[in-house]
Amino acid sequence: MKVLIINCGSSSLKYQLIDSETEQVLAKGLCERIGIDGRLVYQKAGCDKEITEASMPTHNEAIAMVLDALTNDKTGAISDLKEIEAIGHRVVHGGEKFASSVLVTDDMIKAVEECADLAPLHNPANLIGINVCSKLMPGVPQVGVFDTAFHQTMPEKAFKYAIPTEYYEQYGIRKYGFHGTSHSFVSKEAAKFLGKDINNSKIIVCHLGNGASISAVVNGKCVDTSMGLTPLAGLAMGTRSGDLDPSVVEFLGKKLNLDASGVLNILNKKSGVFGLSRGLSSDFRDLEAAAEAGNHDAQVALEVFVYRVVTTIGSYVAAMDGVDTIAFTAGIGENDGHVRAEVMKNFHYLGIEIDAEKNSIRGENVKISTDDSKVDVVVIPTNEELAICRDTVAILSK
């Protein structure tokens, strides 16, 4: 079955066309600057990228252009739109309403609308993608795959904030967690790769990208994760602060004469390793080069990042009463052997040993721990689009 995967943002849209039987990507790309001017990037498998500047006043024109590119005589990946048998959409926030992927129906759309105040920038954009696809490809079944769904198995003691319970009940203020599609995919792939039974496993997944989160997964089910009500919580990230004393919001607001939104803007966009390095960069390649050259701020930024990863992993080992597998994924997790080695230095007490040579392999599933390490440490490239494709096919074959 050919499945179109759509990840719709407020002014951009990423897409992939995947053959679910071979799991090959037939074409992929993105639309940028929707509502501003418009740019389509399209790449058929095995071909060069094509870039087209074209007016995209709304997502309607953007998706229509994607469908045209996919069926184009010269470089199209399919000859007829009818070949697309299903559409899988990334949806950011499913609140407590969705613990798994679901078929798009009127009721589903209503429920996603009801979660919109939890993700005001993302959910409305995701719904626009769904609505435009319904219009342009009527009758093609669509499935919604939620970033939050995998984390819905967290127990109350892990997801509740210690604030008056009424606020949880009235406003849904709790830990939801994000990157769930990646955490789910990587934990399953790690077990499969190591030949372990996921139903008898304790896995920690470190999704370390520009946005970063860690999850604790027991027998395939998430029991804790580091992001919270929003993706600002937890680890120090590219530009996000992660956890800090909530009083900082008022304190800094008074100093800078900013309201809460103004301070949150700083915590989201100007903090993390970017803020710690005085705006040098949020990219680990730049920070590592600067640190190597003796830049103290870059050194500290990297140390803070690693320290938070270490302490979060440590707390999840305690929460799960052990761990058998630690998996690294996403931009930093997949590519940065230095960060992985630094993190793992703190786990000698668990009997973890890293093989330096294997730790330098990139771009594939690899076990980076030595054979006598007591815990397996692996790098598993994440593939959220493939995970959405698999879920879409699974839902439709029910």
- Indicate which residues carry an active-site annotation: 147
Applying CB under 6 A, which part among 55-63, 113-121, 154-162, 209-217 lies near ligand ADP?
209-217
Q: Could you tell me which residues are beta bridge partners of residue 212?
A: 208
Q: Residue 169 carries which side chain, given as an amino acid letter?
A: E
Cα–Cα distance, 380 to 314 (Å, whole number) = 20
Out of 29, 180, 238, 381, the residue judged to bind ligand ADP by CB under 6 A: 238
Residue with smaller CB distance to ligand ADP, 222 or 291 = 291
| In the complex, minimum distance from the CB of residue 335 to ligand ADP, in angstroms, rounded to a whole number | 3
If you count them, how many residues does the chain have?
Answer: 398
Pattern of binders to ligand ADP over 266-285, x per CB under 6 A? Answer: ----------------xxxx
Judged by CB under 6 A, does residue 230 bind ligand ADP? no
* Binders of ligand ADP in range 346-385 (CB under 6 A): none
Q: Which of 255, 228, 136, 205 is nearest to 378 (CA)?
A: 205
Judged by CB under 6 A, does residue 242 bind ligand ADP? no
Out of 211, 272, 275, 381, the residue judged to bind ligand ADP by CB under 6 A: 211
Residues 6 or more apart in contact with residue 266 via CB below 8 angstroms: 252, 256, 258, 275
Residue with smaller CB distance to ligand ADP, 126 or 282 = 282
Helix runs in the chain, H state only: 59-71, 106-114, 123-136, 156-159, 165-171, 180-194, 247-256, 260-269, 272-276, 284-292, 296-320, 330-335, 337-344, 384-396
Q: Which position's Cβ is nearest ligand ADP?
A: 331
Residues 6 or more apart in contact with residue 20 via CB below 8 angstroms: 1, 2, 3, 389, 390, 392, 393
Judged by CB under 6 A, does residue 335 bind ligand ADP? yes
| Inter-residue contact 77 to 27 (CB < 8 Å) | yes
Token pair recorded at residue 73 = 């005589």
Applying CB under 6 A, which part among 24-32, 68-76, 184-192, 204-212 lies near ligand ADP?
204-212
Judged by CB under 6 A, does residue 210 bind ligand ADP? yes
Looking up tokens 């389509």, which residue turns up?
40
| In the complex, minimum distance from the CB of residue 321 to ligand ADP, in angstroms, rounded to a whole number | 30
Judged by CB under 6 A, does residue 189 bind ligand ADP? no
Judged by CB under 6 A, does residue 330 bind ligand ADP? yes
Cα–Cα distance, 102 to 109 (Å, whole number) = 11
Judged by CB under 6 A, does residue 49 bind ligand ADP? no
Judged by CB under 6 A, does residue 328 bind ligand ADP? no
Judged by CB under 6 A, does residue 316 bind ligand ADP? no
Residues 6 or more apart in contact with residue 289 via CB below 8 angstroms: none
| In the complex, minimum distance from the CB of residue 21 to ligand ADP, in angstroms, rounded to a whole number | 27
Out of 180, 209, 234, 272, the residue judged to bind ligand ADP by CB under 6 A: 209
Cα–Cα distance, 327 to 166 (Å, whole number) = 37
Residue numbers at the binding site for ligand ADP (CB under 6 A): 209-211, 238, 282-285, 330-332, 335-336
